[in-house]
Structure 1
Amino acid sequence: MLPTIIHADLDAFFASVEQRDDPALRGRPVIVGGGVVLAASYEARAFGVRGAMGGRRARELCPDAIVVRPRIDAYSAASKAVFAVFRDTSPVVEGLSIDEAFLDVRGMAHMAGTAAEIGACLRRRVRDEVGLALTVGVARTKHLAKVASAAAKPDGLLVVPADPASERAFLHPLAVEAVWGVGPKTAERLHRAGIHRVGELAAADPDHVVALLGRAAGLRLHALANNRDTRPVRTGRRRRSIGSQSALGRRRRTEAELDAILVALADRLGRRLRAAGMACRTVTLRLRFDDYTRATRSTSVDRSTRATDTILRLARELLAEARPLVAARGLTLIGLALTNLRDDDGAQLELPLGGSRAGLDDALDAVRDRFGNASVRRAVNVHRDIGPAMPVLPDRPDER
């Protein structure tokens, strides 16, 4: 049996795009985002700078860092170019985020070579055609391929032979944090139980792991530690959510400022929802506080909606509910996500369908499509610079 699953992951994506586009930044420590670090180049990471870290702390660790404002359009264009290379390489591509994907290359050996050779070609093409470094992990399972790419960072290629002895020899000596889904809190529970390495988790009694972590998480992580992962690479998966968020920095924001940011996020998400031909039933508010803890609040409507005003109304209600937490703990990030998505086929949508508000949404979308996002702004944001909206980041920032 040969390894046929590739995990392809761009290195320090946002920061690498900035270094690619500005030669003066190459080889220098670069931080993307001011109030909160959205990405850091490997030169900055050498000083301990990490994603989701406060900007002030990052500058203390790395005083010589160059801080740049995020450019979402540039990152989106780079991602599209990279994914075009992925899809030209294999017909089976499963995107995980803006900067990583799985590829299944079974049956391609006779025309493209082994998975290792395909991975090497993939790295060359991304560097030559897009100008970015790509790390590749190759293995028999999705989990092991992802762990392999993390171990090969930065700008590397690692192949795990597809036999049980080689897989165990690679996986089991790693820190338990290498298992996909083990975050800081889970790792702390495992450490308290004397489990520090993947091999120790694999050898533990499953019932003991379930008692530590709960049934679903315990069984899943125990299986992954033993490299039991039967998930196929799936292409054409239906999108489950649309989200955007804005980093706020450490300065306390007034209620009016927070509302203005919420307005901008709702406008952006409403436009993206309609552009995708979809409607949503659930709006989720995501908050991150000064102490880096997080909270979410969600609410749903009876019928699917594509209306920005409805999204904004629900978001405002959620923020009002969370106001005591915000006042007590400060706020460094605010985000919105739209879930319970369905095709906007005109059936059972929120009424009125043909009213002036729906027509206004469509008219504003058309103007922004033609003249740019900033061509039309709500009055509340005319004189405000709330910064660009960022893609929703995972709860546990990936320090790849």
Structure 2
Amino acid sequence: MRYSWPGAHAAGPSCAIWCRRRRIRASHDDRHRSQSAGHPSWRAGHDPRHPGRPRGDHGVPHRLPAAALLGVGPATARTLISYGLATADQIAATPLPTLQRILGTATGRQLHRVAAGIDPTRVTPGAPPRTFTAEHRFPRDELDPGRQRGALTHLAKRLGARLRAERQACDSLALTVQYADRSTTTRSRTLPEPTAHSPGLRTAAHALYLTLGLQRARVRCLTLRVGDLCDAGSVSRQLTFGLDDDKARRIEAAADRARARFGPGAVRPASTAGMP
């Protein structure tokens, strides 16, 4: 099933969403939707690009090039072609042990399933996203490390508040820095334990920032991303001695209640004043 929204003007952008029971079918349809004018839908047993050519039992075109299969990059495609496996039907007909000897155990198994149109992954309606992202773009290229760290603090606070509002916790953190010449650098790390605690995210974000060793760098944009999300109710927390951590969490809970009542900017660190 395909839903499309043409642009408001003849030269405007258009949008198409492919709906399938299996992710692989939607991915194949989306990859090849621009092959024919008008973005026709593919129906079971029919390939609109080649009306007289049947499709595979699971909806994958027989002669689909190996490079067009989900998860196949240029290097893997070259390897497959060197063994005479240039199309989906040839790969699907190849015994699984042979593919695993060529590509490795995991990659061979995955490709064998993809070529046959087998994908056990189902789309879960209403499932939470796998990552949350927050971005701060400076009004002009920023040289001051203090302001850069202040922006990181603000991003960590925003992500922490969103995680708690969605009842999620994250297990990884990634920082992307964009410079004045539009080049970027990314650093990531796995957290000691899943968390939605803003101070913990802030500490990890500042640690990633320090690993960059920026020396008078002109920073244009900072992007912080939390990943490997899980249900916060299933997360265990390491107990610590002292009352500082519990006090910080109680303050955080009170701040969340204030934001829920008066808006997201009701409570924030003074160093982040004026940031969106």
Structure 1 CA distance for aligned equivalents of residues 10 and 201 of structure 2: 41
1:136 aligns with 2:15: no
- SS of 1:166's equivalent in the other structure is coil
Q: 1:243 maps to what in 2?
A: 132
1:27 aligns with 2:4: no
More helix by share: 1
- SS of 2:265's equivalent in the other structure is helix
Q: How far is the alpha carbon of 1:155 from its aligned partner?
A: 7.9
Q: 1:285 maps to what in 2?
A: 174
Q: 1:23 maps to what in 2?
A: none
Larger radius of gyration, structure 1 or 2?
A: 2
Q: Can you list the C-alpha shifts for 1:246-283, whole angstroms capped at 9, x where unaligned?
A: 2759x865433442332222111211222123444x23
Q: How does 1:37-116 map to 2 (within 5 A)?
A: 41=13
Q: Which runs of 5+ in 1 are unaligned?
A: 1-5, 20-25, 31-40, 43-132, 386-400
What RMSD in Å do the two structures reach over aligned CA positions? 4.5
Contact 1:137 1:147 in 2 (8 A): no
Q: 1:391 maps to what in 2?
A: none
Q: 1:390 maps to what in 2?
A: none
Contact 1:147 1:179 in 2 (8 A): yes
- CA spacing shift, 1:344–1:322, aligned 2, 3 Å: farther
Q: 1:187 maps to what in 2?
A: 74
Q: How far is the alpha carbon of 1:244 from its aligned partner?
A: 0.8
Structure 2 CA distance for aligned equivalents of residues 294 and 199 of structure 1: 41
Q: 2:26 maps to what in 1?
A: 145
Q: Name which of structure 1's ranges 345-354 and 374-383 shifts more when overlaid on structure 2.
A: 345-354
- SS of 1:158's equivalent in the other structure is coil
- CA spacing shift, 1:379–1:285, aligned 2, 3 Å: same
Contact 1:262 1:316 in 2 (8 A): yes
- SS of 2:71's equivalent in the other structure is coil
Q: 2:155 maps to what in 1?
A: 265
- SS of 1:261's equivalent in the other structure is helix
- CA spacing shift, 1:383–1:295, aligned 2, 3 Å: closer
- SS of 2:32's equivalent in the other structure is helix
- CA spacing shift, 1:287–1:198, aligned 2, 3 Å: farther
Q: In the comparison of the two structures, how many residue pairs are matched? A: 258
Contact 2:55 2:62 in 1 (8 A): no
Q: 1:178 maps to what in 2?
A: 68
Q: Which runs of 5+ in 2 are unaligned?
A: 47-52
Structure 2 CA distance for aligned equivalents of residues 213 and 288 of structure 1: 35
Q: 1:335 maps to what in 2?
A: 224
Contact 2:54 2:61 in 1 (8 A): no
- Aligned residue identity for 2:55: S
- Percent identity reads 19
- SS of 1:301's equivalent in the other structure is strand
Q: 1:308 maps to what in 2?
A: 198
1:160 aligns with 2:40: no
Q: Can you list the C-alpha shifts for 1:200-248, whole angstroms capped at 9, x where unaligned?
A: 54456656654564431232023202223344454575x5844214275
Q: 2:50 maps to what in 1?
A: none
Contact 1:176 1:187 in 2 (8 A): no
Contact 2:175 2:225 in 1 (8 A): yes
